[in-house]
Each structure stands twice: as structure tokens, then as C-alpha cells.
Structure 1
Amino acid sequence: MSDRCEHEPLLRLLFSGAPASGLRRLLDSHATAQAAIAAGARDWASHGLAAPACNAIRTPDAAALRNAADWLQAPGHHLLGWRDADYPPLLRRIGSPPAMLFVAGDPARLWRPAVAIVGSRTATAGGCANAGQFARQLANAGFCIASGLAAGIDAAAHSATLEAGGVTVAVLGTGPDIAYPTRHQTLLERIAATGAVVSEHPPGTGPLRQHFPSRNRILAGLSLGTLVIEAALRSGALITARQAADAGREVFALPGSIHNPMARGCHHLIREGAALVESAQEVIDVLSPSVLELARALRGELDSVPIQPLAALPAPHQDNANYNRLWPALGHDPTGMDELEERTGLTVAELSAMLLTLELEGRVVAEHGRYCRIGG
């Protein structure tokens, strides 16, 4: 999570209305958001910020800043800036990543290998049943299930994952505190309690039509693959699938009856090259190499972090100082992320990547956000 002293400058930049690309360039050029603010209007303009945005940084909307800051004071509420170590690595790789993310829940969930399950808001009963079945089986295989909290397929996927005790992430086109549709408020709270709710929009932002297509790029960007269950030819799910393909991610589609208009979008995707799947195992088989590649990449990032090594311990990856901190902090009783942070002094990002590697190697088991060793 961003340090609280960083919240105000990050919020000032966000509320300027500057495009994410300009804000990312500005943040990349300065050590902190506060330093970016202090650089002044000439520097802001050199990074592509227009005059109205520069004026808004100088004289921010005090009420908007206060409302967002108040939301961030609550436990489990986070603001991840572009340069934050906890910013999800897969999302960095898309063409237009958000400069900031509001997160309700555990930011570490955004590091887990995820499958986006999307589809029609007016799905058939059979489509919702398929979404639930695939979500349960993928969650039981260790995948996080990401979706958009919408009616129909999204809600079925989220709910089934929660019932299976799995991890699910909701990516919103509203603020992180507003469910759309409103009847999903309880579902939103359940997801935040064990997974994460994510939005690039500040708290209090209502449902605006133009926000949902851009929301879909985040959903696709957080996921290794996108599975479309049911979708009409004109459907937001097809936007998510296209953005997943543009980001180099896998796209899967379930075939359906030729008489079902909700299957035509899936058939279109299959004709365009999406993988036709009939079981969750087919998705798992395709994505397994990507999961291992992600784990190796994250481990490589951690190996480059200069930390004074501890004494060698009888643990995996003995040559890595970070693992030498983590392994003795893990026991045979489940331990939560907060306690592991306190025991090791490592960040959520570092812990999440190492725990994922150890889980894939069969040395650690994760249940309900708590981790314990397997074996010695």
C-alpha cells in the first residue's frame, strides 16, 4: 500500500483530469508523487499535461480530496500508484495501464494468476450454471477468478468462487465503494473481505457508460486469460476479449446452441481464433505454462532486490536472502499476510511473488488468504 503521506499528492494528480499516460510519465520522472507535485507547471507540461490539468494540480478540489482521503483511512482501503511496489505486474504490461488503482481488500490478490470470466448481463440459466462450474473448478485449481460484478455471468462467477472458498477480484467501472447494479452491494463487500475490489475511479464515482469499456482493459490486463461464457454480438464481454488478445493473453469461449443469441458472440470469437473450450481442465492446461513463466518472472524481480543476506537456512532457494527471511516466518499453522509482513519486513509484493512460487512448487499451501508450510 502507498504510504499515507503519498496519498494527497497522488490524489491531486488523479483529480487533475490528466490522462493516465501523462501521469505515468510524470511519476516515472520523479522519485515520489510529492516530488512530481513540487516540480512545477513547466515540468508538468513537459510530460504532456495540458493547462487545465496543471491548474487543477495547483488548486485541487478540496472536497474531492477529502472524500477520497476519508475512504482511504478505513482498514483494507488502498491507493496504488504507478510506481508503487504493490502495483500488479501483469497490469503494467498492457498498452494503457491506469496511473493509479483504488483497492478495497488485499492488494496481494492482484498478483495471483487469474482467469477473467465474463459474459452477458442477461445470461441464460444454463450460462450462469456454466460460469459457476468453471469458476469453482478454476478456483480449486488455484486460480483467482476476476470479473466485473455485473449481473448475469459476472455475478455467477464471483458467487461460485466465494462458495468454493476461492479468491475472486471484482474490477469496477464505478468507484470502489459503489456496486453496480446496486443489489450487488453485499456481493461487493464479500469480495472485498476475502479478495479485492479494484477501480481506477475514486470513491463516490457513479456508473457512467463511458467508464465500462475502459474498465474492461483492467480486467483483461490483470488476467492471464479471459473466458467468455455467453455473449451477444454486441457485448462488453467481446470488448474484454479483444483487449485480452491485444495484450497477448489467452482468450477462451464456450460454444452454444445456434438458436441461442447469447452464443453468437462466443461463436464469433471462436471464428476469430479464440480457443473453444468445453471444460475447465482445457483452460488449466493452456494457462499452466503462463503461470510458471509468471512465477519465474516474479522470482527474477525479487532476486534483483539488494537485501543483506541472513545466515543460510535449511529452506528452498537458500541462495536468496528474501526466501531466507520468509521461510522461518512460515509455520505449519496458517499465517496471514499482515503477520508475515511484520515477521519478515518484506513488502506485500515481495511476499506474494515468493509465496506463489512456493505454492507452485508444492512447498506452501494457501487457504483463505493464510499460508503454511508443507513438510519440513
Structure 2
Amino acid sequence: MDNVTKSTPARVLIHDPTLRDGHHAVRHQLDADQLRAYAAAADAAGVPVVEVGHGNGLGASSLQIGRALLSDTDMLTVVREALTHSRMGVFMAPGWGTSDDLRGAVALGADVVRVAAHCTESDVTERHLGVVRDLGADAHGVLLMSHMASPDQLAQQCGLLVQFGALAVGIFDSAGHYLPADVTERIAAITAAVDVPVIFHGHNNLSLAVANSLAAIRAGATIIDATARGFGAGAGNTQLEVLVAVLERMGHATGINLRGVLAAAEIAGERLMKAPPVIDSVSLVSGLVGVFSGFKQPVLDSAHRNSVDPLDLFFALGDRQVVAGQEDLIDDVARQLQEA
């Protein structure tokens, strides 16, 4: 008899930011009916967490990075009413959002709160993670633009997030820059350093979001972000319905009904977006040079205004290692290219 026992594949918790990251693709202009329709469909499919908000999170609606059609309060209220089983998630980056935004979100029914920081600056989350814990919501700490830090640095930063009160920690491939081996190395380092669930959030600029998510799972991540039809910034996110189908084939339990999530994807395709995200030349170069995927529309707008090639503008921004929050640099760099 074979004495080798096959282990049961780990359960994977899917976190769905379609109604938050997807906002980048439509200039933050989703209306109440669109939010309600998708949230109800995701809830019916058994999606565990449905995240909602401006693309850059609580408090981010602004002239600098785009005014949302609805206020944070209106968005959260609509989605909370549509969810009967799924938990509601929100995202906040200190500097855009405040502790008051966190209190307001939890009062409106947010169950899971992601507090985000640039990959080497987890110290800015300490106060806000403490607020979330005091409010009784699940506090997650996540690191943005994580390709800009080494595996050891990310492990150290995630360790600090846990010290600050995060119940789960992880990394965002904000630029869609990773190869699977990059993800494996980083997630393995993080899982070895912390004793809480580890998160991975992928973007599809190099057509590797699903592959990178699977690499993360194999390396020990148990919370994976994915959006319907990949709806999200730039070339989009890990595609939710594809990920669920692949995980089902691999034997990983997600608790999500495949037919239900396919129906939700149809609603997303019909109601939320003019067309599914594609890997066009601009998105590809954004991922290649490691520039935040959410810069796609601002870069296209600036390139048009300044009569420069958007590819040249992305290469120049990559050389300067710009990060989210530095949108005001896009026009400056475009004008420099135009003058040159």
C-alpha cells in the first residue's frame, strides 16, 4: 500500500474588488444601479467579500485623481443593502483617507477594511490599523507597488503590519509587473515571516494575473483578489470567473458557485463596462516598466494634451519610478518630453 497521503488543497478566500478597482476603468463613474446590480449578483454567487469605493479608496475622490460619481457614503449604503450573505470590504490609503473615513465606513457596515501603504512605508498604517481593530472590523494591511521592494523587505514590512494589528497581510502587483517566479519568492518570504493569512492582488498587464495568483497560492497565500471580467485599472485584474474555475479544477475550495459567478460576470460585462479590459500597447508598457496601472487614463489624457507618445510618457515615468499619488507628475513629464 502507498503510504504517501495526498494533502487536501488549501481553501482559498476570494476577495472581489470589482466595484473598487473597476472604478479606475470608468473614471470612477459607476452609478447606484450598477453597484447594486453587481453586488447582488456577487452575493448570490457566494463571493465571500465584495469591496466597493473610489478606485483609490476611501476619501480619494478629488480633482487630482478623479471625482467619483457618488460619495463614499452613497456607494457603501447601496452595496451594503444589496449584500445578504457576502461581507462588504473597503480600501483606504493614508493620505487620501482618514480615521474619520474609516469610522464612517464601519458605521455603514464595512466588515473588512484594507489599509494600504507603499511597499516600504508600512509605518504610515499603524494608527489606522489600530482604529479598524478598535472598531471591530477585520483589519488587513497591504503593500502597494510591491515589485519595488525585495522579498526580505516585503517580509519585514508585513511583519510590521501584523504588529500594528493586521489580521491578514499581503502585496499588490499594482503595475502588473510580476512574473510567477517573482510572486513565489515574495509570498514564500512573507508566509515564513508572519502567522496570519497572506493576500495577493494581481494585475494583468503581462497576461499573467491568473498564473501569478496560482503561484501565490502554491507559495502559501490564502486570500486572492479577483474581479469580474478582470474589470480594473490598466489591463485589468485577475479575472474572477476564470480563477474560480481553475481553482475548482485544482481542487481548491472557494465556496463560490461557478454558475453564479459566471452570471455575475455577465452582469459586469453588460452593466459596468463598455468593453472588457485588454492588454493594449500602453497597458503592456505600463506593466513592463512597473508604473501603477491606474495611471493609464491620466497618461493617455496627458499625452493627448501635450502631443506626445503615451508609450514614451510611460517609459519616462518608469525611469522616474513614480508611484500612485504622484499623478501631478504626469503632466510635468509630458511637458518635458514635448519640449525635448
Answer yes or no: same fold by TM over 0.5: no
Task: Report 1 or 2 for greater relative contact order, CA contacts < 8 Å, sequence distance ≥ 6.
Answer: 2
Q: Return the TM-score normalized by structure 1.
A: 0.30
Q: Return the TM-score normalized by structure 2.
A: 0.33
Give 1 or 2 for the bigger CA radius of gyration.
1
